[in-house]
Amino acid sequence: MWLSVIFLLAASCSSIVWTQPQDATQTTNSCHLCCQGASGLPGIPGAAGIPGSSGHNGLPGRDGMKGEKGELGVSVKGEKGDIGLGQIGLPGGEGLKGERGASGVQGLPGKTGPRGIVGDPGANGQPGHVGRKGDKGESGRSRKSAFTAIKTGSQSGNIGDVVTFQETPTNLNSDFSLETSKFTCQVSGTYVFMFAIGVYQNTDPVIWLTKNGNRVLSVHARTGGNSDYDHTANSAILNLATGDQVWLQFAVHNGRTIHSDSNRYTSFSGFLLYDLD
């Protein structure tokens, strides 16, 4: 509104005609500044001015009237939340004793306790029934050993040849072998060995008693003529281990001959005196 008034005043002043006054009196009477002329047409509105600054907030208004009661809402149960990390409470009091439960599985045996004091012997019980006869066991090795080997024919030989025998009237445990004509120890111990050698017609044999190939002792027989007979013998006590062997062998060259026939002039015997096992 103030802009419109200023605009109208400016338009009125612009229509005033200035004349050269002739004197002071005329000047005073001719001035139209103090006089308002007829209203002109409204001027064109001016441009909008710059907005003023915001005013201060007013005082709070009074409380409005209480509204009407709304409709009841539908209750929806929410999902269960996570368990919170609360502090552990104090233990509760002892509850009532419950009913006895079923027996559990038997546990493992405990450690053997200390041996108790030997009690008094009890009364003799009644004899039991006779059991059945057991099966026959395997034959055990006899702790006895003895043999006698007989030569039934003459034999010529050179150094190292084994004196052979053809019969064994006694041969416990089969310790003497007719196949090799050697005794093999199966029960370690002390043994007695004896042998007798027959000669005929100046054959002049020399025989060794040998243990595992080593000479133990010797015999030497010689006749007085071509038709004479002679006989020689010897014996020894030897300690033998299991597997040791004993035999007779020729001790010289030149085909010396041992004489024997159905009269059995030559023999070799041995037996266990006591065992060492």
Delineate the domains of the chain, giving CATH numbers in brackets. 146-275 (2.60.120.40)
- Residue-level pLDDT, tens digit, the chain, 277 residues: 544 444 444 444 444 443 444 444 444 444 444 556 777 787 787 787 787 777 777 787 787 788 788 777 666 676 776 765 666 768 778 878 888 878 878 888 888 888 888 877 878 878 877 878 766 654 455 579 999 999 999 999 999 999 999 999 999 999 999 999 999 999 999 999 999 999 887 778 899 999 999 999 999 877 666 667 788 899 999 999 999 999 999 998 877 889 888 889 999 999 999 998 6
> Could you tell me where the beta strands, DSSP code E, fall in the chain?
146-151, 155-157, 167-171, 176-177, 182-184, 189-200, 206-211, 214-220, 229-240, 245-250, 256-258, 266-275
DSSP per position, 228-245: -EEEEEEEEEEEE-TT-E
Three-state secondary-structure class, residue 29: helix
This prediction's pTM: 0.49
Q: Report phi then psi at 260, rounded to 5.
A: -165, 155
Instruction: List phi, psi (to 5°) of 96.
Output: -70, 150
* CA 68 to the chain's CA centroid: 85
Across 62-82, b (16+ Cβ under 10 Å) vs e yields eeeeeeeeeeeeeeeeeeeee
What pLDDT is attached to residue 20?
44
